[in-house]
Homo-oligomer: A and B are copies of this chain.
């Protein structure tokens, strides 16, 4: 039978893993309000701080950005103009796998915008996201986010099939 010392050490490992699970969900969730208030370069740079220094944001239908300054530049222009019109970046329930100081997640995201007549909203972009995270200086940051529109492209379906390897590991012990 395990000693009290061993049981406490086991608890510490399990609780650290649970903390990581919650923390990564917080990072994903915080993307929404951070992007939906990014209407200038200063705010876009704040948004890019969610990424690691050399983090990647590969945006389906747009382009691949590398490093915080380049990630921030993705929002110059079109995105800044969307803020005063209203837009909302919903993040769906993620599946998260934590492995030490790295983590992987899959989630959907939806961007809603107001109809032009000012009544109601429409789903503008419906995407899947493959996220990798790194714990840097004690804070979970986005190492890479690959975002793809759900339009049935073979590459996108293949990417989503990462779910096969995540599921098996995704139930914390």
Distance to closest chain B CB from A137 (angstroms): 12
Copies of the polypeptide in the assembly: 3
Decide if A110 touches B90 in the complex (CB within 8 Å). yes
Give the number of residues in A that approach B within 8 Å (Cβ atoms).
75
Binding site for B on A (CB under 8 A): 4-5, 7-8, 11-12, 14-15, 18-19, 21-23, 25-30, 32-34, 36-37, 39, 46, 83-96, 106-108, 110, 112, 114, 118, 120-128, 139-140, 149-153, 157, 160-164, 166-167, 170-173
Decide if A93 touches B12 in the complex (CB within 8 Å). no
By a CB distance below 8 angstroms, the chain B residues around A166 are 30
By a CB distance below 8 angstroms, the chain B residues around A27 are 171
Distance to closest chain B CB from A52 (angstroms): 15
- Which DSSP category, helix, strand, loop or mixed, fits chain A's interface? mixed
A28 nearest CB neighbor, chain B only: B93
Decide if B86 touches A150 in the complex (CB within 8 Å). yes
Q: How far is the CA of A98 from the CA of B56 in the complex (A)?
A: 31
By a CB distance below 8 angstroms, the chain B residues around A34 are 163, 167
Residue from A107, A122, A126 having most chain B Cβ neighbours under 10 A: A126
From B12, B21, B89, A7 is in contact (CB under 8 Å) with B12
Decide if B157 touches A39 in the complex (CB within 8 Å). yes
From B12, B89, B122, B162, A123 is in contact (CB under 8 Å) with B122
Q: How far is the CA of A89 from the CA of B106 in the complex (A)?
A: 13
